[in-house]
Amino acid sequence: MPNDFDIIRLTIQYLDAHDDSHPELANVADAIGLTPHHLQNAFSRWSGINPTLLLCYLAYSPSKQATIRRKLMVGSQNMITMLRFGEINNMKVLLTLRDSDHPSVVDNIQYGFHETLFGRCLLGVTNHELCWLSFAEQNDGDSLYPLRAQWPNASLCPKDIYTQRFADLLAHKVSSQTHDLPILRLYGTTFQLQVWRQLMGVPFGMFTTYGHIAQTIDNPRSARAVGSAIGANPISYFIPCHRVIRNTGEIGGYRWSTETKRALLAWEHAQHIAK
């Protein structure tokens, strides 16, 4: 039986294949092999809003969704001001330069696969700090390849007890205590760290563009390089690269899959509706 997040992604795939701006929940359920009751419950559990509202949003035409996103574009005045790159979203974020002079700054990584609000995810920690989060859209062995490629000289050890705390945060099961903030550790080049720092300033439920980030880091001609840096983001969701879209409002690319990016954005949209 697919988990709730997989059901959302299957729904998106179905809607993409059928040009129907007013789909019936029963028809969608039948097409993806579920009962209407099961689909309705999955929508409610996952989004926290009326299943019909969620289905309507998912069924919006690309142009209508793009129009909605353009209205939620964040300007420089709306970016979260970070006087120091420290606490955000009840987490402490630390930056470490990784370049040709310091290629191997991580020796050991403990990793774990976890079922979360956003499907099965792979998390990696070093020294109790989160350094990797990806969506396990393939089998576990294949899902480890990007982590191994990121740190080819590091020793990888399956220890999900070390990653459970961060998985719980991803599943929104617990809230962090201010006296013991979980730590995210970003390793990257000077340029990558500049870009990732800007990502942390995009408010929940809002969007920015590749070009806007390029302008913010005083390098307006670097939009393509910004896209590459965003694609290399090693900590998905917590470093919200899914909130970066094209100037037109189209969602653009994503390191994992477009269905995953659209589902993440749909969930954030649902949380605004729920409020």
Q: What positions carry a catalytic annotation? A: 241
The SS3 call for residue 71 is helix
Could you tell me which residues come within 8 angstroms of residue 185 by beta carbon, excluding any fewer than 6 positions away? 93, 94, 96, 126, 127, 129, 130, 131
Distance from C-alpha of 190 to C-alpha of 98, rounded to nearest angstrom: 8
Distances (CA, A) of 47 to 118, 120, 274: 11, 17, 9
E strand intervals along the chain: 87-88, 91-97, 108-116, 119-126, 129-135, 155-158, 183-188, 208-209, 244-245
